[in-house]
Chain A
Amino acid sequence: MSYIEVSNFSKSINNKFIIQDINFKLEQGEVLVILGKSGAGKTTLLRNINLLDLPNSGRLDIDGEIVYNSNEPVISNKELQKRHKLIGLVFQSFNLFPQYTVLDNVTLALKLNNKKKIAEYRRKIKNRKEVLDFSKKLEEEVFIKASKILNDLDLGDKLNSYPYQLSWGEQQRTAIARALILNPKVLCFDEPTSALDPSLTKEVISVINELKNKKQTMIIITHEIDFAMQVADKIIVMDQGKIIEEKVNYHE
């Protein structure tokens, strides 16, 4: 079995298929690029893989786990939350939280996680000081992890900046860091290079290649063929909600 398997994904809205019978496989550390013109259904496919929308039919396996199966009973909200953490998404418009600094954007999810851990710990261990030490330790771990990720993404000097103070590229890298801190099994990008000047596209390519060197599995949507050729291991081309072409991209 492959690391990621998308099987028979279909989604229809108002009785009209937006994506239909999508199948592909991806190995760990590979980069899949989904090509296709505007309206082909790329974003919809990605949203369904991220479980932001749930496919009407289909199955998603990641790393030997069934992440979604339309034949299974309805997933509880709690379970859905857990599964969301397996799959990272960098939105086309990033959707950074404007009221939080770069650091807080990146650490929010882990901090909320830790809150629950601390509450649990408090129930078990009544000693106040121990609970305090425990929460300090977790806080430190989060900070160290976030700093490392942000440094690697060249954002070491932006920890305390707010999103509106960042350049386009810095915002994108913040969004990447925010997703990476959860160690997602797969990181998805929706049009990471759209409407840009070429120098910014180069920057995106170098960031993606660096993630690739770290064996981060990625799924990337684009409509730019040049970009696809530079980062992809596998390429699928979509049109009218279906895969019309699938190929392996051999890098020289």
Chain B
Amino acid sequence: MEFINVTLDLLMGFGKTVLIFCIVLILSLPLGLLVTFGSMSKIKILKEIVRKIVWIIRGTPLLLQVIIVYYGPGLWLNLSIRNFRFGAVIIAFVINYACYFSEIYRGGIESIAKGQYEAGYVLGLSKSETFFKIIFPQVFKRILPAISNEIITLVKDTSLARVIAMEELIQAAEEIMATNGILWPLLYTGVFYLFFSAILTKIFEKLENSLNYYK
């Protein structure tokens, strides 16, 4: 099989990979903040439940979570959802990444001095104004390196989707291998991942530099 054909086939898989990546990011970044609010809530029971969930999600493999979300409804609820592959991957990934992000957010929020909140309150700012105008921008700057790491990990984690035969990049390569008896397309996928991570790394570098205007 020719290089150009392999490339085109892999590009199809890569498209799916990028799609998973984008949707998961867009949903999990804000959901993570909600999880953080839950895990820092003054309502004790809410806080405990959210922290337990985060603990379980972070303590078990994402691979397993994908399998449970995909097969769970059929096995335990007798639900058969058609074309659920993509949905299952998105749900499992979004929950998993939201939990990871929430811990990063929480660390960042807890690192901001109490005086910053109080400075907001004595100016008559509301709690949400204080959080979004004063606290969060500082948190964002502090956690950006950790968030970037997590996001780069997500690029590679997308390959776990193939456990439920989702047509992502690695799956595409394996199909080519199986039908053509060649190994190199699998190795070739590495180039796609590298390329993607390299772009993201550049973007994060730029973003971090753009926040260097204050200390």
Which A residues are closer than 8 A to B by beta carbons? 50, 52, 77-78, 81-82, 84-85, 87-89, 91, 93, 95-99, 108-109, 112-113, 162-164, 178-179, 182
Contact = CB atoms under 8 A, between A and B. Distances in A.
Interface string B103-137: 00000000001011011011111110100011001
A211 B11 CA distance: 69
B3 interface: no
Contacts of B138: 98-99
Contacts of B141: 99
B215 A91 contact: no
Q: What does DSSP make chain B's interface, helix, strand, loop or mixed?
A: helix
Interface of B: 113, 115-116, 118-119, 121-127, 129, 133-134, 137-138, 141, 213-215
Contact of A81 (B118, B126, B137, B214): B126
B115 A109 contact: no
Contacts of B121: 52, 81, 84
Contacts of A163: 214
B212 to A, nearest CB: 11
B215 A98 contact: yes
A158 B158 CA distance: 49
Nearest 7 pairs between A and B by C-beta?
A95-B119, A85-B124, A95-B115, A109-B123, A164-B215, A84-B124, A89-B122
Nearest to B138: A99
Given A95-B115, A99-B138, 14 more contacts: A50-B122, A52-B121, A52-B122, A77-B126, A82-B124, A84-B121, A91-B118, A97-B116, A97-B119, A108-B123, A178-B123, A179-B122, A179-B123, A182-B124
Contact of A95 (B118, B126, B127): B118
Nearest to B122: A89
A36 B127 CA distance: 33
20 contacts: A77-B126, A77-B127, A78-B126, A84-B121, A84-B123, A85-B123, A85-B124, A87-B122, A91-B119, A97-B134, A98-B215, A99-B137, A99-B138, A109-B123, A113-B124, A162-B213, A162-B215, A163-B214, A164-B214, A164-B215
Contacts of A182: 123-124
B125 to A, nearest CB: 6
Contact of B125 (A96, A99, A112, A164): A112
Contacts of B137: 99
A178 B120 CA distance: 11
Given A84-B123, A108-B133, A182-B123, A98 B113 contact: no
Contacts of B215: 98, 162, 164
B213 to A, nearest CB: 7
